[in-house]
Every structure is written in C-alpha cells, then in structure tokens.
Chain A
Amino acid sequence: MGERLLTGPAQLAVFASDGLTAFSERPLAVALPESTEEVAAIVRACHRAGVPFVPRGSGTSLSGGSVPVPGGVVIACNRLNRVLRVDPLTRTAVVQPGVINLAVSAAAAAHGLQYAPDPSSQSVCTIGGNVAFNSGGAHCLKHGMTSNHVLAIRAILPDGELVELGSAQGSAGPDWVGMFCGSEGLFGIAVEITLRLVPVPEAVCTALAGYDSLQAAGEAVARILREGLLPVAVEIMDAVAIEAAEASVKPGYPECAALLIVELEGEREAVQADRLVLESLLARSGASDVRITEDPAERALIWKGRKGAFSSVGWLAPDYIVQDGVVPRTKLGYALAEIDRMSAQAGIRIANVFHAGDGNLHPLILYDGAQAGATDRAHQLAGEILRLCIALGGSITGEHGVGLEKRDFLPLMFSEDDIAFMRRIRHAVDPDELSNRGKMLAMS
C-alpha cells in the first residue's frame, strides 16, 4: 500500500485518540484502504498474523470507540468516500463507509430527498461510524436512529470473509442488518451500506421557549407529548450551555435558565395545524419568551448553536466529559434536579444539553485536567450520573455507544448471563477478538 500505510510516529500520533480525548494509544500502523478489496486484504492479513485492528472513520466517537489497540492496526476508511448510487424511485442510497453523514443528504437533495439521522458531528462524522455506533441525533425523536435507516450492509467479517446482510428491499427473515448496526466494530467493517432516504419536508417550523428552570422546561415537554404532538425534535439547553453557545456561535437565544427547542416538520397544512396547538400550549406553559420561526436562516442558526454546544463549552473550561445517559421521559425533571444537586455537591460545573423528547441526557462535565485529581473527580461524577440513569430505569448510553468509556458500567444494565450471551456471539464471529478489541466488552 506504500504511502497509504502510515508508520511514522508523527503520522500515528494523529490517530491516537478520538472525540473522547481522555483515552490515547499509539497504533502500530494506520492503513488507508481505497477499495473493498483492500479492506478485505488488510483484515485477512491481520487475521493471519493475529494482529488486532480498529476500524475508524473521522474519529468523532464520544465513547472511545475508535481508540487504537496496543500493538494493533488502525484501518481508516476515510478514502472509501463515494456515494455509489442514489435511487429516487426506491428512495435509497448506496454509500461507502467513509462518506460524511451530510454528504448523503447533499447527494440526495437533487431528488428532494435527505438522510434523516443527524448526529451533532454530522458535518464530519462518517456513515461507517454511524452504523457501528447506531448514532442518533436531535431529529431522532420522529425519525429513529441510524439502524432505522439502514437497509443492507456488505461487511468484511473479522476473518476477512465478505457477507451480504439485508437488501435494499428489506428482509424476510432475521434482521441481521439490525444486529450489525450498533455492534461497535466488533463484527468487522461495513464496506457498503444501503440507506433509506426520506423526502425533504415541505414545511419546517422551529419554536424557542425560555423558562426560569429546567423543571419548567421539562414539564412543557411532558405536555407536548401528552397533547399527541409528534415533533421531529425536542431539545433543552440549560443556562451554562446557552452561555457557551452565546460565547461562540452567538445564536441569540432568549435569556433564560432553560431553553426549549421544538421543531415540527411535514406538509404545510399539517405543520400549520400542529403549530397552532404548539403555540397555545407554549403560551400556557409559563415560558418567559416564545419565538417561532419558519425562516431557514434563523433555523440554521438555532441548530448551529445547539449542535455546536459540545465544542462551545470549550469556551468555559479546558476539558469536559460528555455523558449520554437515558432516563424514562417522565423522570426527566427528577433526574435533572439530581444532576444539579450532584454537581453542587462535587463542586463541578455541569452544562446540560439534551434530547428531552426521548429522555437522552447529555450532561457536559466541565473540568481542568491540569489540576491535580480533577480528571478523576470528573469521571467519578460521570459514573454517578450513569448510576442514577440506571436506577431510574434508563440506559447508560442513548446514542454514543459503550466503547471504552462505559464498558465497566455495562453490568449495571445487564446480568452476568446477559453479558456472557453477548460475549458468546462476539466470539462466534471473532474468536480472537481482533476487530475493535476491548470496545463494549472488556477483553476476555
């Protein structure tokens, strides 16, 4: 592979971490394949030599999902970046794993179609990574996660064998595609992915409502869901997150302790009808400031502020941990109050940005890694928040995956038998744990 096999220390250093910078490991080498055949050849060579490998896209994982393995190879799929087909008749696109999330929608736009899942990193993250971690996004409330939009996968298994899962027409048999999605790279590398496209909505309406407490904003969310509205996104940002956004992106959000963002989309008539219901509901919800817009530029700025929240908190603290716990929606208010209490008790600032509509919290734990013990204290607080989520009947991860970061917390959700079951499946596909070793399940 010549210059597409990187082995120089400076070249390798770039690949040592992903979006979760707390973990770092220098790989043995980084391969940059340009074809399915090259991926298969690299995987076969690793398999023969017993060398572990880590599939990688843009390295935006927030769970350490693409951190290299000691003595292992990184297979960076970024050059497999072609949209192979867009078929407007079947509303599908076939893409390579290194295609950037937003590039799928760009390729489909000429047909009035788009790719729905929208992780905040969508301008840089790749479809291969989205599939591996079943990525979500702000608009998953109505559209579902990545796996709800994947119809077929051609994958190179950890021994180099190529398999075809599903088809553009769906399947009539076990959902092998669904099983592959979210497997965190443990089953090998998806080299060709058939995605479902959805029509670009005719009308979109975005509402901002400011509240004097997170609880009040949370109560408004409960009312929206009770009313039978099915918005495409329901998000909340707290004062710290708003402060960070205003310091960087300057979206001009209302001044408040908690900002609710609600987006409706669909046909003109449906959005107008739902908008009336939403307006009247927000007017009665105790909001101090309500703004509703259908202007695309205003909407773009609102989302720029929201989706940039993770990077914006860099304005407030040198380091942060993004948590991804999920609580039942009805326990949202309680969970937020508890997190607030934990934050005060630990003396650690937390910014809250979250997908309120589906109970997926993203507390951003702010700290300064240069201070003695600060990193450990931040991780301890992060762990306490995950325990709270589980105690309330939720999950340790909504959309970022287990990766390296949360694998010690897996036993909070699953029994020994459950984990052993997953391990047997993993070993049946990859007996030597070569593919993304140590992610989701600790090495056995």
Chain B
Amino acid sequence: MSTVAALTQADVQAVVATCAPGQHLLPVAGGTKPGLSSSSRDDVTRVDVSALRGILAYDPAELTLTARAGTPIAELQAALSEHGQYLPFDPPFAAAGATLGGVTAAGASGPGAWRYGGVRDFVLGVRLVDGAGRLIYAGGKVVKNAAGFDVPKLMVGSIGRLGIMLELSLKVFPRAPETVTLTCELGDTEAAAEAALALMRSPIHLDALDIAAGGRLLARVAGRSGEVEARAERLAGVLPGPPVRLRGDDERELWRQVWSSVTETDADTLVRATSSLPGAAGLVAALAATAEASVHYTLGATAAWIRWPRAAPIDRLDALLAQRGLAGMVLIGSPERPLIGHQGGGVFAERIARAIDPDSRFLEL
C-alpha cells in the first residue's frame, strides 16, 4: 500500500484517470477508521484527501452547510455551535479527527442520531470523482430536492468504493439548549432492553438511548430549560429502578467516557452492526458463546458496536451476523473485508457499482 496526497480537486481527478489497470484506489482523510481506509495489498494506493478541507458555505439562517470532504467534523461542529446549531447525526470519532467524507463513507452516526436520524437523513448533495476521473455533482444544496437519482444517499456507507467524495452539502438543525441524562444499572442486556422498550412506549421523545455492556441503560432528553426536567421526571417514573440524573459537565463527561471506551481500541476489532431491541440480548449471548466480545448498543439498539478480539477469526462474527440477517462494517481491524454479515443489494448493487467504476479503479465493495 502506498499513499498519494491530493492537494486539489484536479489532483484527485488525475490520480483516478491515470490509475493503471489492475491497480486500485482507496480514499483516506482522518484515518480514524483504519478498517475502511487502509489495506495490506500492494495493488492498492491510498488517495489522501485531507488537504481538501474547509467550509464552503454556511448560512445559519438557511440551516444548511457545504464543506469539502476532508474537513474535520470538529471544525464543522465549532462553526455550527457559534450559532446554536449542530450536526444531528452526532458523528463518532469527531474528537479523534474524523472528517465529513469519512463519516459519510462509513455511514456512522453517534448516539444523538436517535432523535432526528443518521447521516443518511441529513446529506443533501455531493461532488465526487467517478471511476473515470470525471467530476460529478448530484443532489442539491437546499433542504428539499427530488431532482435526479439520490446519489448523495448512495455515498452514505459507500466506504470510498463508489467514487471519491470532494464536497458535501448537509442539512443542520438548531441544538436544544438543555439536556438531561438518566442512567440505570440493570444487570444485563435483557433487563436493560426491557427498560428501553418501556421508555420507547412512553410518549417522551429521547435524544439518545444506549445500552452499554453489562446492562447499563443511558437515556437522554433534550429541550428547553424547565420542561426538559419535567420530561426527565416522567421518564424516571417508567424505569424499573431509581436512575442517576446527570446534567452539564458531568453529563458530557459521562457520554465522552462511554463512547471513548466504545471507539478507542488498539487491541480489538471494532465492528458497527445493525441490530434490533428485541434481538439485543440474544446477540450478546451468541457473541459471548463465541468469543470474548463486548457490545455497546446505541440508537435504541438499532446499532450494535461490537468489540471483537483480534485473535478471534472475523469469519465467525461474519457468520453469526449473517445468520441473524444483520450487516456489519469493520471500522477498526483487518481491512481486507470491511463489509460482513448479511449484505443486501444483489445485482442492483453490482450493476450500479460497475456503472460508476467500470474499470474497477476503486477497491471492490
């Protein structure tokens, strides 16, 4: 694996256009998810697009933003927070240097995406370089647009294999001024999933709903000062045991700690998988029977972040997910096969990938 740095849009186009037959390209920027952005193969060249950064347009009154793909998420968050706005899909790895393009390519959303949706629900437009080195624009810059194929959505989860993103437009939202987090130790995933179901049946909209390994439930509400406490109180009444209430710095620190223990690892393979609340306890049990794995559920357990020992064969996790109809993406770990488990798409996926990249210049999906 070698790396070339692209300093301009034209550089990216040239690298793709001159890619030799049999050679493959893989875009990289922040490199926070090496399972997606590295390779041990010598027919792979990484295209570093981290120099293609910067916000191109942000008007707070529009609630939209356009930035180059290599822009660090932290830079976007800083610009947005000056105007009380935020990226509602709450990108993970932001503190570690994740970029807009990388977060989109991984389709990875953080716990706060529970309220309004993930990165797929906020991406509006994309400028990309296709497999022939052409510059392509798709989507739009306004919050509503139904013209042409929704290529911006296709980029979400495309792990750099369906074009190299140069620029993205996003919808953003105002951030609720106050949040309260309730946590409850419930002993195991089954009990925590039961409590999570009770919370979901209540009329209270949650801002985040996670189940940490060992059955710790974390539920966050967001809103205005005064009413947010009243809603937290109602939530507490639904929980099986008395919760701990956290606000302000303590609350932020809790979420930071919980999520750094999920995403920071050198020793384990980190896989983001699809999951469901009714199947949450079963998946934990099946994983435990196979390897020393741990699972952090987020987004109401519709996403499982699985720590899988490096020593354990990834094939076993692959089979275990496939059996359950679940899909997984290897974010940290061996980069040879980033998509595992049950992957849909079939010939639809193959045909579209071939249309975008007929000469297989990008790594195969």
Contact = CB atoms under 8 A, between A and B. Distances in A.
A164 B142 contact: no
A92 B164 CA distance: 34
Contact of B351 (A133, A134, A222, A428): A428
Contacts of B161: 174
Interface stretch (B71-79, B93-101, B131-139, B245-253): B131-139
A148 B117 contact: yes
A387 interface: no
Contacts of B354: 428
A373 interface: no
A202 B203 CA distance: 6
A167 B325 contact: yes
A266 interface: yes
B147 A396 contact: yes
Interface centre among B60, B153, B155, B224 (most CB of A within 10 A): B153
Interface in B256-278: 272-278
B278 A269 contact: no
A299 to B, nearest CB: 18
B285 interface: no
A136 B224 contact: no
Contacts of A148: 117, 120-121
B55 to A, nearest CB: 16
Interface string B95-112: 000000000000100000
Interface in A55-84: none
A97 interface: no
A358 B203 contact: no
Contacts of A134: 146, 150
A269 to B, nearest CB: 4
Interface string A387-404: 000000111111111100
A269 B344 contact: no
Contacts of B23: none
Interface string B163-189: 000000000011101000000000000
Contacts of A334: none
Interface in B310-365: 325-329, 339, 341-349, 351-352, 354-356, 365
A167 B144 contact: no
A369 interface: no
B140 A399 contact: no
B151 interface: yes
A266 B161 CA distance: 40
Given A163-B344, A173-B345, A176-B349, A395 B302 contact: no
B148 A172 contact: no
Given A169-B276, A225-B63, A425-B149, A174 B154 contact: yes
Interface residues of A, number: 91
B121 A187 contact: no
A37 interface: no
B162 A174 contact: yes
Interface string A211-240: 000000000001001101110000000000
Interface centre among B107, B118, B228, B277 (most CB of A within 10 A): B107
Contacts of A400: 146
A417 B134 contact: yes
Contacts of B121: 144, 148
A163 B146 contact: no
A183 interface: yes
A337 B116 CA distance: 33
Nearest to A181: B150
Interface stretch (A3-11, A45-53, A305-313, A325-333): A325-333
Contacts of A327: 142
Contact of B153 (A147, A199, A425): A147
Contact of B227 (A140, A222, A269, A417): A269
Contacts of A107: none
B200 interface: yes
B291 interface: no
Interface in A126-141: 133-134, 136, 140
Contact of A199 (B107, B203, B328): B203
Interface string A10-37: 0000000000000000000000000000
Contacts of B136: 417-418, 421
Interface of B: 59-64, 84, 107, 116-118, 120-121, 130, 134-138, 140-151, 153-159, 161-162, 173-175, 177, 197, 200-201, 203-205, 223-224, 226-228, 230-231, 234, 272-278, 302-303, 325-329, 339, 341-349, 351-352, 354-356, 365
14 contacts: A89-B277, A91-B200, A161-B347, A164-B344, A164-B345, A167-B274, A170-B302, A174-B365, A225-B174, A267-B204, A267-B234, A328-B142, A419-B148, A428-B355
Given A163-B347, A421-B130, 20 more contacts: A89-B277, A90-B276, A112-B201, A140-B144, A148-B120, A165-B345, A169-B302, A172-B273, A172-B274, A172-B327, A180-B348, A222-B61, A267-B234, A270-B205, A273-B227, A395-B146, A398-B144, A406-B147, A422-B148, A427-B355
